Amino acid sequence: MSSTIRTVLFDLDGTLADTAPDMAFALNKVREEQGMPALPFSAIRPVVSHGASVMVQLGLEITPEDARFAPQRQRFLDIYREHLTQETRLFPGMDEVLRAIEERGMNWGVVTNKPAWLTNPLMEQMGLTQRAACIVSGDTTPERKPHPAPMLHACHQAGSHVWQCLYVGDAQRDIEAGKRAGMKTLAALFGYIGAADEPQLWDADAMIQHPLEILDWLSG
């Protein structure tokens, strides 16, 4: 670790916050409305970081070309919006990480592909908005991760150079975006890693099993 790190940036779903329970609730609610049985949480959790479209493909067994796809995707998002923080919480240890970052005189922020109309109320309801140096959503910049543009925008808002930033994420596109922007990266193995994912091949600077390992890495 370089002692020059000033800003720690996080992916939202599966890295900063455990949003899977509420997203699974919304998906199974759509299935219920379609007369389908609920999917087990274990089947839903690994795909949460891949976004609404992938979740709807999994949950309703339809493709984006299906005429039902767009309205059912919107229905899923509408239900989710109504239950953003029903069960969503920071991952265990993450609050301690954020407090330690703040106490060290550093700052932190979020870079997510989640649209702002979901990201902003979620951050607000979790009491994190005022603490974050930046909140970059999937529609904040013209491009989304794995493009580096959102990462560069976050650095600018946080008042740091890219070489002063660390990005923590649980998906390959997170690590790719961070690396393309010139940041240090950590792969969050406690996040929504699927059986087909191969984080050891993402070329992150390190892989972590628990949020508190972020502090170990920063101090190393």
**Which pLDDT tens digit goes with each residue over 3-14?**
699 999 999 999
CB pairs under 8 A, 24+ apart, for 71-79? Answer: 72/30, 72/34, 75/30, 75/33, 76/26, 76/27, 76/30, 76/52, 77/26, 77/52, 77/118, 79/25, 79/26, 79/29, 79/30
**Which pLDDT tens digit goes with each residue over 167-179?**
999 999 999 999 9
pLDDT at 2: 52
Q: Is the pLDDT of residue 1 over 50?
A: no
- Residues with catalytic function: 11, 13
Pairwise CA distance, residues 80 & 212, whole Å: 29
